[in-house]
Amino acid sequence: MKVLAIAAVLILFAFTPAPACDPDQFEVTGLHSRADSGYAIITGQVKNNCAEAAAVWLTATTYGKDGEVLDTEEFMPSGTRNIAAGSAYPFKAMLHFDKGIEKYRVMPVGVRKW
């Protein structure tokens, strides 16, 4: 009987739904960039507009004159901690500096609840 109860609990947790939140519900604001020691450093904040706490993966990308991708980095600014609903969290991305950088973009690409 204990085995059945344990199996039922494990199955329940295995099928627990993902966070009721998606990358579009995270807002990237306050972007700034600078060159330092061979890196393009991009800083800003990401705000969790979800109804629950969750962590987000961001992708930072630098582009050249013709729109070609020069460098990209995927990272999770809060690590293995959730960002509280309605809260903002600072981030810093370090990409390889290239004199041909014309623009950069930081966007949410994934969500995880810890």
Mean pLDDT over all residues of the chain? 89
pTM: 0.79
Task: Look at residue 20 in the predicted model and tell me its pLDDT.
Answer: 76
Could you report the per-residue pLDDT of 9-20, keeping only the tens digit for each? 455 545 545 557
Q: How many of the other CB atoms lie within 10 Å of CB of 45?
A: 15
* Domain definitions of the chain by residue range: 21-112
* pLDDT greater than 90 at residue 5: no
**Looking at domain 21-112, which of 3.40.470.10, 2.60.40.10, 1.20.1250.20, 1.20.58.100 is its CATH number?**
2.60.40.10
Cβ neighbors of 68 (< 8 A, separation 6 or more) are none
- As to burial, measured by CB atoms within 10 angstroms (0-12 exposed, 13-18 middle, 19+ buried), residue 43 is middle
